[in-house]
Each structure stands twice: as structure tokens, then as C-alpha cells.
Chains A and B, each alone.
Chain A
Amino acid sequence: MKVPLSWLKEYVDIDITPEQLEEKLFGCGFEVEELIRLDAEIDRVVVGAVTECEPIEGTHLHLCKVDCGEYGKDIQICTGADNVYVGMHTPTALDGSTLPGGVVIKAKPLRGIPSAGMLCSGDELGLNDDLFPGAEYYGLLDLPKDTVPGTPIASVVGLDDCIFDISVTANRPDCQSVLGIAREVAAILDKPLKMPATDYRVTGEHVPGFSIRVDAPDICPRYLGHQVRDLKIAESPRWMKRRLALCGLRSINNIVDITNYVMLEIGQPMHAFDREQLESDCIIVRRAKEGEPITTLDGKEFTLSPENLVICDGEKPVALAGVMGGLNSEITENTHELLFEAAKFARDSVRRTARSLGQNTDSSSHFEKGISEYSVELGMDRALHLIDELGCGKIGPDRYDCDAGEPKEGKTFKASLPRINAILGIEVPEETALDILRRLDFKAENDGGLLTVTAPRFREDIEVGEPDLSEEIIRMYGFDHITPTFLTDSTVTNGGKRPEMKTADRVKRSLCGQGFCEAMTMSFYADEDLDALHIAKDAPERNVVRIVNPINANMTIMRPLLAPSLLKVVVTNLKKGNTEGRLFELANVYAPKEQPITELPKETQHLGLAVFGSEEDFFSVKGALEDLAEDLALKFSYERAEDVPYLHPGIAAWVVCEGERIGCFGKISNLMTKELDLPKDSKENQKIFLGELDYEKLAAHIPAQIRYQPIPALPDVSRDLSLVAAEEVSCGAVENEIRKACPQVSAVELFDIYRGIQVGPGRKSMSFKVSFRQDEKALDQETEERYVKKILGNLKYRLGVEIRA
């Protein structure tokens, strides 16, 4: 919120520098986001009096002599402006001066004639008509003749001011105004607050028969109306225009300006209706009817619903409550009578209307933050005072007041000073605490440390009890009074990660050890990302948690799989020239328990893997998984996965742990490789592997406790077997059969595969090293032969595999 220092000074004496004030506000909870000095960019620009002025033959230029007081009595400057005249006082930018926008003025010849600076227009100083009359004239700014040559220009045109752009926290809507901030500043500096005048003379007459009715007191607890007649629509006075301009508002006419001025000053949004455009003598505040139309002041048309609160003239809506007035009752040059509105509308009602119609205004923003009834009353009185002061019309005697009966006093409650100190952990001297409350307009009666406190009316945020008071006291007393302590009085607790988090750390570390980098991707993506993986439209993964209000079209669903995210990461890396890599992510995937969603969706941790690069193949990824299993004291086995939509049907596997499928991995399908978002010639050779494991299933198999297993006294005995099998017999099948045939087998390791004439077409020879455990005593030759025979017998019988001759 923008607060000009000059305006602030009207309500409180400020005897410190703007920087000091900024620091004090900051310390009390009001962060000044920016301290804007209006003359920050202006340097060496002074009042100059034109003493000579001659047109330069053959040009549009004038050659002037300018009196700039102490900077030179006789400075020669060329100007192209045609309104220059002898005796004119005008802003003069001297040699080496700066102007807004980073403009630097140097002495240099113009059309060959030396010129020691520049005479300026209002626009060149960053002024407009509201800030300084005549500033928008296309030509030099004609300053009053009583200005003294050589005076720095900022003080002459009112740019010796600064604006505090203050961020006000959501609990302090009472500070969304110049007066509100002034009140805080007065408390900080312990100075009296000079309230703006709210008195006015009633000169109009009673209007019989007019009434105001509120049909929705739940969302409009207070509504004030007041009529003004015999209006004189005119320009606003200079001081008012200037203040509006400093806060970024354009002057329209005296009436509109008064409503805006009161909003900025008091924080109360006001509205003025053209009384003669109201179709009856009755204003009704009610919920809109379904489909009811309104055209707002800015010419936009809306179709309303009962969610929207409207002000009606008995027939039709004439304003969208708290948001904007209707075009049909706008104040115009021809308005003779007006009805002022000052009201309190419920925050959420205004918010919903403003949001749903996309009509966010200064007014709606104030209402959304919260308006107190105190400001409703103050705002109306202040507006009428300004009508009177500016002589814009005759104020009637009738005040229409619709009041739902909310309390008109600040909250009164008891609070104990020792308990306030117990929250803060320090002893705030009693008189200091009481003084702070007084400065903040709290009434506090002290009975031996037990206070009876009445909060000011405008502080609707104050909650009954010590915490709120402790907050008020410490922010004024200063957080630097807090002494750091370390739980002097508390119980020892046991800290650390839960076991499942430690397990996750182990998994991550293990993968890092195999060259995987941890990735982190967004938890949301779009349906198109599932399309890209050829996930069928009726697949279970398509039943997703959908975001009602996504930030953009790429982030509309909570992801059911990590694979799409990781594939995108791979493509991003390839595009950036990273030709190989290994990545993993351990993160949640989401599934609704029902549709439409009524309870919290299921969140399951998945472990996603992505491996790419020319050195990688199915078996290097498989190796990574086996090493992971080894690290976790698990054993994986594999089943061919032919129906994972995004994986190559021949180069993909289900990962099985203790009989349970826990996920899959493999090369991405050829179709997907073709569809990758990569240059055509670089796609075909890409080797990209994706894996996705249900981490929770995996983790469930990890042994919780390590138990020592005795080491066999004798080393294993091994035997090499070369076996001939039909091509379709898999290595895994042979290995399984070997293990099944003989429980003494401790390891089976394939070390060679041969295909060729020696074994014949459609067949292959596989050489295994088979190891046998020796339990108590050494394995004798005879027993070993028996084992081998059993193995070979089973292999032949079950798989048609024979020993190679």
C-alpha cells in the first residue's frame, strides 16, 4: 500500500528521517517494500528565469539567457519549445544534471549553437496535471513568478516527498489506509494522532419517503446511506488531486475523487449513486437473482447469480456490492443529487464475487481484507465533511442506517501481565507494557498485574487473551529485547528419523553408489504425458487425482506414475547435450480412492529409474537393480514383461521379490523412441531405459534386523557344465531347474553362450559354473557325481537340455 510522507504528516508530527521511519515501521511489523523518493532521479535541476529570448533564424529554436541564481545569472540555453518568453520561470536542467528515466543532460551545441543545459517540460520531470497544474502542457513548464531562480526544482513542484510502499499483514486491515498507518506511526513515536475532520453542516432538507433495506444482513451487517443535493460537479482542489496522484489514482471530478480519497485516507470504500437514476425511493441490498444482468461502470456486462450481493433501486441492480457501481447510476456532469454509500460487506462474499466475475477492484480488495464498522461510520462522515469543505452540494439531514446489530464497542477482556511475560520469556516492565497498550489505543486497567483491557474498535483482529497482547507488546517493545534461551525447563525427547526414512536413505545411497543421480520432478503433469507413454485410456493409471484449478495446462493431474516425469528429464538432458546418465527419483504417486473424490487419495512412494547412453543396455540396468537388491539383503527374480505399454515387449521385465511383482523396467518401446521430442536423426540410436518400482512393496521385504549367519567351514566346490538347449529355453529357466534339482547348489553362474554349427541350428550351448555347499564334511567325488547326475536328469526331463558332448 502506498502512503505519501506528506499526507502522513497531516495526522502525526514526524520528526525523524524517512529512513528512520522505515526502520521503525519494519521493527513493528510493517515492512516497507520500497521507499520511493519522488526526486530520486532528479539532480541539478533548478528554477531558471528567462532573461533573454531570441528566435534563431531558419530553425524552430530559441536562444535564451537564463538566470539560475547561484548557478549562473547568464546561462545560454537553446530550446525548441515555442511557449518560451522573457520573464518565464521554468525548470532548468543544468550541465551534468539528471532527469527521470536515467536521462543525463550535458552542455553541447544545438545546431552549432552552444547550449549549457535544457529547459524542461512537466512531463520531463515526471509530473502530470494532478501532481502539478499545467504539467501536461506540451511545452515548457511555466512556474509561478514568485519562485526563486536557483532553487532546486523538487521543492518547487512538490517532488520533495517520498512514498512508503508498505506491505500490511493480513491481520491488520485497519492499516490499509493512510490514517491507519498514521495511527501506528503515532504509537511508534508516541505522538498524538490528529484525526481528520468529520464535521459537516446540514443544509439540505428532509426527503420524505426514501428508505434503505438490507435483505441479506448476514453478508451486509452495516449499510449507511446519505443524500446530497444541489450538486456542483467540478474539478477537485489541487491538494486532493495531488494526493490521489501520489497514490496512483487519476482525478475524475470532485464527487468521484471524494469517494476515492476517503478510501485511501480512511480505508473505507465509498460509492456514490446518481439519485435521479434510481427508479424508486427505495434501496434494497439483496442477493442477485439467477441470471440477473448488470453493466458495471467500466462498461463490462455480467450475468449474476445468488452468490453475488447487489444493491438495487427497487427494480434493478445499480451496483455490485463492494466491487463496482453500475453504469446505470453513474455520477455524471449532469448529476444533481447523489446517495453516498458506506457499508461493511462480508469478506468472503466480496471475494467470491470479485473472483468469479474476474472483477478485482481497489474496493473489493479493501473489503476482502476486512472493513470495520468504525471505518463505515468514519468514512461516511469524512465524505460528507469533504462535500461541505469543497462546497459541492447540500447535505441532507437524513442518515439511513441499516444495522445488523454487531457490537459497537471494542472487545473487553481480562489478561495477566505475568502470563504475557511467560509467553515472551522476559520481564517487560509493567509501566512499559501499559504504556505500549495506551499508545496503541487499548484501554487497560491494572489490578496488580491483572489487566482489564478494552481493544480499540478498529482492531477487529484482536482475540481475547494474553497471546494477542503479548504480540502487541513485543512488537512495540522490540524483539531485540528477547533473550535467547534453550528450553531451560523442558523434557528430554528422543530425536531422529523413523526407520522407514532411514531405509529410504539406504536405498538412495545405494543407487548413488551405482552412478545414479537423484532427480526431483513436479508431482503433477498432464494427461498428454500419459498419452506419450501409450497408457491405455481405460488403464487403471488413468483414474487420476485431477487439480480443479491448475496453474497451467501442463500441470493438471497428480501423477499416477513417475516414468513420464523421468522420460521428460531424459529428453531434456539429451537436448542439452548430456549423452548419458543414470537418474532416480523416490517420490509419491497418487490414486483416488473413489470418483468424485471425497476422501484423501492414496499416496504411494514409487522408485523411478531412468538410464540412457550408448554404454547402457538391459543388463547394465538389471545389474544396477541386482546390486541394489544385494545392498538391501534382497533377491530379485524376473519375469518377461510384454505388456507394459511404454516398454519394448522383448526387452522388459517384471521385477519379482519373494514372489511378489514390485515393478518393471526395460528399454522404452521402439514406437516411443520414434516419437521422442528430439531431432529426427538423433532418435534412432537412443538407448533409454525406464524402471518403476512400488517402493513400499520393495521396502516391505527389506529385513528389519540383521542376524549373523555362521560361515561354512569348508569352501564351496564348483563344477562347470556345458549344456545344449533349444533357443527358446531361457537361461533363467535352466538356472531355476538346477537349483530345484539339488538343494545343495549354492550358486549357478552362466559364463558362456555358444551358437553355431557344433550345436546345430535353433540350439545354443550354455556353460554354467555350478557351486555346491559343503556342510559338515567334505563333499566326496561320488556324492558330487550323484548331484550332477540328478541335475542333468531333471534338465533333460523338464527342459530337454542335454550335456554338451
Chain B
Amino acid sequence: MAMEDRIRELRARMEDALAKAENKEQLAEVWQNYLSKKGQVADLMKGLGSLSPEERPAMGKVINEFKGLAQARYEARAAFLEAAELEKRNRAERVDITLPARKRPAGNLHPITITKNEIIDVFAGMGFEIFESPEIEDDDHNFTRLNVPKNHPARDMQDTFYVADDIVLRTQTSAGQIRYMDEVKPPLKVLVPGRVFRSDSDATHSPMFHQMEGLVVDEHITLGDLQGMLDVFVRGIFGPEVKTRLRPSYFPFTEPSAEVDVSCFQCGGKGCSLCKHTGWIEILGSGVVHHSVLKSCGIDPEKYSGFAFGIGIERIAMLKYSIGNIGLLFENDLRFLKQFKD
């Protein structure tokens, strides 16, 4: 058979084999049969020997051209098969992206902790150190040194839990004032957050709740400073438009004493159910530190003066998040807890 015929015939067979190759293995077989060193294309070169020397260069060129073509055909088929393979795999791996996600959602802090931290942030920025003190206190720190001696009527203002004759569950974080002033002398600014306990339970009272006592003692501290600092606090927590109002009240450890109201942030002071249509919401008690409290901590009231305030953290949290019943805060229903992402 003439070389040209052989080539034509070989080309037809190879193209047929390539077209039939449906996978890598079959393709490899085609390569083995036709394109490897021992393959049929290589055999063509061996056939050159039977030709006359004059014919050889031209035929060699023809064979080489065919070799190049065969190679290209093979690669094209390989590329096609690879693409088909990938396509098939992609199809096989395809997912329903609307199936539910697999999650481990992060938990979150308790709203009391969040609120506590927010308040701390405001005051820490003003130079208040944060201090913690015992939850079970002696009578001396919880009452006597706060100017509430035995038999003082103010003891009736709070229903106290006793664990021994002179040992109580602290009724107020004010007890921490005394502990701090025993440790640190003025000038001082301190914030005492913590659990407090009173024998009282209804929609707005829990036998355990959280307070934050603030205390500033330095020279020349005035009631004006108290109002100025509370303005900063209130704006920090409730927003820049909220105003404060002081009105006279009574606490044994401060004199003068003032109850602090904020303008209702829900209605802007026009009157709504949150502020009981008064335009104002009571948020904390405060006052100028009583001389006897300073004296009981060895601080000279002639030289130093100060102010103190006590914030109910639950109250602030309930106002901020519109929580109507204090019991929710301590029930720990996960559907409740998970709402407080901050």
C-alpha cells in the first residue's frame, strides 16, 4: 500500500478510536495504540526505510505533519473529555443552596451584663474605677457607717435579709462605698456594681437585683457637679436629647438628697404609658455624701466633699429594652436571652 494510503487509513482508524474514547482510560489506550513510541504513528517512520532516498524527505515531511495532526486531535479529544468530566462532576456535586444552614450561633451576654457594661463604659471614661465588694455584708458597712444606726427609721425603708444577728445580704451597693473609702483616700471616683437583696417581690421588684453605686470625693465637690455628671451619664445611656431633673428626696447617707428623673425617651416628655403620662421617668437616687459617712471612713468632711448615686441596673435595662416584668430577667428562657445581641 502506498504510504499516502497507509496514512489515510491510519488517520481514519485513529479518529474513529478517539471519537469512541469516552474516558481517560480509553483515551490512554488510544494514545498507547497510536501515539506512544511503539504506537502505529511511530511505525510509519519505520516504513520510510523501504522508500528510495529521493522519496524519503518528502514522505518524512508528510508523516511528521500527520504526527502533528494526530497529536492535536488527541489533545483536543483529551480536553473535550476533561471538560465533560468536570461538567459531570460539577453536576454531581451541585447542592440545593436553599437547604437549611448548619449553625453554631454565638451566644450572648445577659441584658443585665450588657447594661452594666454600658454604664461602666460611660463612667470609666470619666475616671471612675470599678470596684466590687462582698454580697453578704456586716451591719456596720451596710447600715451603721452609712448613717443608718440601729433603730433608724430608714432601716424600715428596706426589707433586709439576715443571715446572722449582724450579718445581712447587702441591701445596697452603697456598702461598697465604705469598703472602697477604707482602701482609697480622696481624690476618688468609684463605681460599685453588684447584686443586692431585699425581701420584696412583684412585677417590678425581685428579691435579688443589681445596683451600681457611684461615688466621687474630692475638694470642692458640689450638687452642681452631681447634676453635671448625671447629665453625661443619662445622655450616654438614653440619648443626647434626654434631660435630667433633680427633685428632693431622702436617703440617710446623703444630704441634700435628690431623686433623679429623666425626660421620657419614648414620648419626648409629652406623656405616654411608659412615663405614666408625667413626661418623666424616675431612674436613680443621689445626693451629697453625708458628713457622718465621710467621717466613718476617716475622711475630713471639712476638707472634702462628695456626691453619690445609686442606679438600679434592672430598671435601666427594663427601660432600655421595654421589658415589662422583672421576672423575665431571671427566668432565663433562651428565647428571651438570645434577643440581646450587642
Q: Does A665 contact B (CB under 8 A)?
A: no
Query: Which residues from chain A contact B164 at a C-beta distance below 8 Å?
Result: 548, 596-598
Q: Does B197 contact A (CB under 8 A)?
A: yes
Complex-state Cα separation, A231 to B120, whole angstroms: 69
Complex-state Cα separation, A490 to B331, whole angstroms: 44
Count of residues in B whose CB is under 8 Å from the partner chain:
86
Query: Which residues from chain B contact A498 at a C-beta distance below 8 Å?
Result: 129-132
Q: Does B232 contact A (CB under 8 A)?
A: yes
Query: Which residues from chain B contact A425 at a C-beta distance below 8 Å?
Result: 222-225
Complex-state Cα separation, A468 to B257, whole angstroms: 10
Complex-state Cα separation, A26 to B248, whole angstroms: 8
Q: Is the CB of B163 within 8 A of A601?
A: yes
Query: Which residues from chain B contact A514 at a C-beta distance below 8 Å?
Result: 104, 106-107
Q: Is the CB of A474 within 8 A of B221?
A: no
Cβ distance B123 to chain A, nearest Cβ, rounded Å: 7
CB-CB contacts of A16-52 with B at 8 A, as 1s and 0s? 0000000000111100000000000000000000000
Complex-state Cα separation, A463 to B290, whole angstroms: 11
Query: Which residues from chain B contact A524 at a C-beta distance below 8 Å?
Result: 207-208
Complex-state Cα separation, A465 to B333, whole angstroms: 53
Query: Which residues from chain A contact B112 at a C-beta distance below 8 Å?
Result: 520
Candidate in A517, A582, A584 with the most chain B CB atoms within 10 angstroms: A517
Q: Does A471 contact B (CB under 8 A)?
A: yes
Complex-state Cα separation, A582 to B117, whole angstroms: 22
Stretch at the interface among A55-63, A297-305, A573-581, A757-765: A573-581
CB-CB contacts of B98-136 with A at 8 A, as 1s and 0s? 000000111111101100010010011111111110111
Stretch at the interface among A169-177, A281-289, A443-451, A654-662: A169-177
Q: Does A358 contact B (CB under 8 A)?
A: no
Q: Is the CB of B288 within 8 A of A517?
A: no
Q: Does A483 contact B (CB under 8 A)?
A: yes
Complex-state Cα separation, A485 to B229, whole angstroms: 8
Query: Which residues from chain B contact A347 at a C-beta distance below 8 Å?
Result: 151, 153
Complex-state Cα separation, A484 to B22, whole angstroms: 88
Q: Is the CB of A490 within 8 A of B153?
A: no
Q: Does A521 contact B (CB under 8 A)?
A: yes
Q: Is the CB of B167 within 8 A of A583?
A: no
Contact of B167 among A26, A423, A505, A600 (CB under 8 A): A600
* Chain B positions 228-275 with a Cβ under 8 Å from a chain A Cβ: 228-229, 231-232, 245-250, 252, 255-258
Q: Is the CB of B105 within 8 A of A515?
A: yes
Query: Which residues from chain B contact A590 at a C-beta distance below 8 Å?
Result: 135-136
Q: Does B296 contact A (CB under 8 A)?
A: no
Stretch at the interface among A102-110, A549-557, A634-642, A768-776: A549-557
Q: Does B15 contact A (CB under 8 A)?
A: no
* Chain A positions 559-605 with a Cβ under 8 Å from a chain B Cβ: 569, 572-573, 576, 578, 581-584, 587-588, 590, 596-601, 603
The verdict on A576 contacting B129 (CB below 8 Å), with A515-B105, A519-B110 known, is no
The verdict on A27 contacting B247 (CB below 8 Å), with A515-B106, A521-B330 known, is yes
Q: Is the CB of B207 within 8 A of A467?
A: no
Query: Which residues from chain B contact A581 at a C-beta distance below 8 Å?
Result: 334
Query: Which residues from chain B contact A426 at a C-beta distance below 8 Å?
Result: 222-224
Cβ distance A13 to chain B, nearest Cβ, rounded Å: 24
Q: Is the CB of B135 within 8 A of A486?
A: no
Q: Is the CB of B124 within 8 A of A497?
A: yes
Question: Which residue of the partner chain B has the closest CB to A566?
Answer: B332
Query: Which residues from chain A contact B224 at a C-beta distance below 8 Å?
Result: 424-426, 482-485
Complex-state Cα separation, A486 to B120, whole angstroms: 18
Q: Does B138 contact A (CB under 8 A)?
A: yes
Question: Which residue of the partner chain B has the closest CB to A595?
Answer: B164
Q: Does B335 contact A (CB under 8 A)?
A: yes
Cβ distance A779 to chain B, nearest Cβ, rounded Å: 37
Query: Which residues from chain A contact B231 at a C-beta distance below 8 Å?
Result: 484
Cβ distance B45 to chain A, nearest Cβ, rounded Å: 47
Cβ distance A485 to chain B, nearest Cβ, rounded Å: 4
Contact of A170 among B127, B131, B163, B250 (CB under 8 A): B250
* Chain A positions 515-551 with a Cβ under 8 Å from a chain B Cβ: 515-524, 545-551
Query: Which residues from chain B contact A492 at a C-beta distance below 8 Å?
Result: 127
Q: Does A479 contact B (CB under 8 A)?
A: yes
Question: Which residue of the partner chain A has the closest CB to B256?
Answer: A471
Q: Is the CB of B256 within 8 A of A475?
A: yes
Q: Is the CB of A597 within 8 A of B167?
A: yes
Q: Is the CB of A597 within 8 A of B106?
A: no
Complex-state Cα separation, A594 to B334, whole angstroms: 38
Query: Which residues from chain B contact A470 at a C-beta distance below 8 Å?
Result: 223, 255-256, 288
* Chain B positions 264-302 with a Cβ under 8 Å from a chain A Cβ: 288, 290-291
Contact of B248 among A479, A489, A497 (CB under 8 A): A479
Query: Which residues from chain A contact B245 at a C-beta distance below 8 Å?
Result: 479-480
Q: Is the CB of B337 within 8 A of A515?
A: no
Contact of A588 among B135, B161, B220 (CB under 8 A): B135
Contact of B135 among A483, A512, A515, A523 (CB under 8 A): A523
Complex-state Cα separation, A590 to B167, whole angstroms: 13
Cβ distance B59 to chain A, nearest Cβ, rounded Å: 56
Q: Does A513 contact B (CB under 8 A)?
A: yes
Complex-state Cα separation, A549 to B168, whole angstroms: 10
Cβ distance B161 to chain A, nearest Cβ, rounded Å: 5
Complex-state Cα separation, A75 to B178, whole angstroms: 74
Count of residues in A whose CB is under 8 Å from the partner chain:
93
Complex-state Cα separation, A603 to B223, whole angstroms: 36
Complex-state Cα separation, A169 to B330, whole angstroms: 31
Complex-state Cα separation, A394 to B110, whole angstroms: 71
Question: Which residue of the partner chain A has the closest CB to B103?
Answer: A515
Q: Is the CB of B161 within 8 A of A550?
A: yes
Query: Which residues from chain B contact A171 at a C-beta distance below 8 Å?
Result: 153-154, 250, 252
Complex-state Cα separation, A218 to B330, whole angstroms: 46
Q: Does A558 contact B (CB under 8 A)?
A: yes
Cβ distance B42 to chain A, nearest Cβ, rounded Å: 42
Q: Is the CB of A482 within 8 A of B334?
A: no
Q: Does A700 contact B (CB under 8 A)?
A: no
Query: Which residues from chain A contact B137 at a C-beta distance below 8 Å?
Result: 600
Cβ distance A689 to chain B, nearest Cβ, rounded Å: 15
Complex-state Cα separation, A724 to B188, whole angstroms: 67
Complex-state Cα separation, A583 to B109, whole angstroms: 10
CB-CB contacts of B132-176 with A at 8 A, as 1s and 0s? 101111100000000000110110110001111001010000000
Q: Is the CB of A496 within 8 A of B124?
A: yes
Q: Is the CB of A486 within 8 A of B109?
A: no
Q: Is the CB of B335 within 8 A of A576?
A: yes
Q: Does B305 contact A (CB under 8 A)?
A: yes
Q: Is the CB of A518 within 8 A of B337?
A: yes
Candidate in B124, B164, B187, B189 with the most chain A CB atoms within 10 angstroms: B164
Complex-state Cα separation, A173 to B220, whole angstroms: 32
Complex-state Cα separation, A485 to B151, whole angstroms: 37
The verdict on A518 contacting B136 (CB below 8 Å), with A172-B250, A494-B129 known, is no
Q: Is the CB of B130 within 8 A of A501?
A: yes
Q: Is the CB of A512 within 8 A of B109?
A: yes
Q: Is the CB of A422 within 8 A of B222?
A: yes
Query: Which residues from chain B contact A490 at a C-beta distance below 8 Å?
Result: 187, 216, 218-221, 225
Query: Which residues from chain B contact A518 at a C-beta distance below 8 Å?
Result: 107-110, 113, 337
Q: Is the CB of B108 within 8 A of A573?
A: no
CB-CB contacts of B180-214 with A at 8 A, as 1s and 0s? 00000001110000010101110000011000000
Complex-state Cα separation, A707 to B23, whole angstroms: 58
In the assembled complex, 17 residue pairs joining A and B whose CB atoms fall closer than 8 Å, in A order, are A424-B222, A471-B256, A484-B228, A484-B231, A487-B225, A493-B187, A495-B128, A495-B129, A498-B131, A519-B110, A520-B329, A522-B207, A523-B208, A545-B163, A548-B162, A583-B107, A588-B195
Across the A-B interface, the 4 shortest Cβ-Cβ residue pairs: A425-B222, A425-B224, A29-B248, A169-B250
Interface of B toward A, CB cutoff 8 Å: 104-110, 112-113, 117, 120, 123-132, 134-138, 150-151, 153-154, 156-157, 161-164, 167, 169, 187-189, 195, 197, 199-201, 207-208, 216, 218-225, 227-229, 231-232, 245-250, 252, 255-258, 288, 290-291, 305, 329-335, 337-338
